[in-house]
Amino acid sequence: MAFVPPARHLLRAKDLADARYFEPLDVDDLAHAAGLSRAYFSREFRRAFGEPPHAYLLTRRLERAAALLRTTDRSVAEICFAVGLKSVGSFTTSFTRTFGASPTAYRATFPPASAHALVPACVVRAYGRPQVRTFREDVAAAPA
């Protein structure tokens, strides 16, 4: 059995956020995927990837929501639930703060889906994920 670098366990948690963001995941689930206690996990995740795990999970959800706004005609509420968020109100607040426009206004600024032709999904997911401006509303929404 090969020695596994510690960061590989953190990557499992990051991959879980990327793979199952649409489920009711929280930081405890991510810590569990890494096999670490929640507090230690949060510190180590931040050290490895430069942002805390709940911020990564939230911005993954917002990135997916932005992609769905650009490329589908589903309603804002439907998209909120489709990316694993539970409150349309805090989704709209987080989205607006992060992207500088409400979900509806954001959608209106983009050309139709066909214009997004050849860029690989991994590029969309990696480069489209916003940086958190603040995540107060996420903390409020998350279980204590």
Stretch of 51-59, 81-89, 94-102, 110-118 contacting other proteins, by CB under 8 A: 110-118
Contact yes or no for 84/22 (Cβ under 8 A)? yes
Stretch of 7-15, 88-96, 101-109, 131-139 contacting other proteins, by CB under 8 A: 7-15
Among 55, 62, 136, residue whose Cα is nearest residue 101: 62
Contact yes or no for 17/28 (Cβ under 8 A)? no
Q: For the chain, how are helix, strand and coil distributed in percent, rounded to 5?
A: 65, 0, 35
Residue 78 interacts with other proteins (CB under 8 A)? no
Contact yes or no for 103/79 (Cβ under 8 A)? yes
Residue 128 interacts with other proteins (CB under 8 A)? no
Residue 111 interacts with other proteins (CB under 8 A)? no
CA atoms within 13 A of residue 35's CA, in its CB half-sphere: 7
Q: Give least dist CB 111 to other proteins, A.
A: 13
Of 14 and 61, the one with the shorter C-beta distance to other proteins is: 14
Residue 10 interacts with other proteins (CB under 8 A)? yes
Binding residues for other proteins, per CB under 8 A? 2-8, 10-11, 14-15, 18-19, 48-49, 113-114, 116-122, 125
